[in-house]
Amino acid sequence: MNLSLSRRQRSQGWRHQLADERSLERRRTWAEICRQFDCQGCWVALRDCRYDARTGQAVEGVLVDFDEDLGSLCDRVRDAHAGCAILYCG
C-alpha cells in the first residue's frame, strides 16, 4: 500500500479491491474492525449490527465502507445499504 495516499483513497481502494471477497460478509467486533482495517480517524458504516443491551452501542457488525468524510460515506451507503449504523473510529 502506498503510504502517501490519503486514508480516503486507501478506503476507496479497499472497497474496490475486496468487494468480491466473501470475507467482507463476516461479522466482526468493533475493536477488530478498528484494528484490521485502516479505520482509525474515520467514519465507519456497519450493517447487521449487534448492540450492547446496556449502552445501545453497536459492538459488532459487517463492515460496509469507511471514510474520513461523513458526508461522502453517507452518500455512498444511502441507497445501497439503507439502515447501516454509522460510527466514528477515533
Q: Count structural domains, the chain.
A: 1
Q: Is 13 left (phi over 0), alpha (psi -120 to 50) or beta?
A: alpha
More confident residue, 66 or 2: 66
- Establish if 2 belongs to a structural domain: no
**How many Cα atoms are found within 13 Å in the side-chain-facing hemisphere of 90?**
2
Residues 6 or more apart in contact with residue 90 via CB below 8 angstroms: 40, 41
CA separation for the pair 7, 14 (Å, rounded): 10
Q: Which domain holds residue 13?
A: 7-89
- Establish if 1 belongs to a structural domain: no
pTM above 0.75, yes or no: no
- Coil, helix or strand for 87? strand
- Establish if 24 belongs to a structural domain: yes
**Tell me: the pLDDT tens digits for 2-43?**
333 455 555 554 454 444 444 557 899 999 988 877 888 999
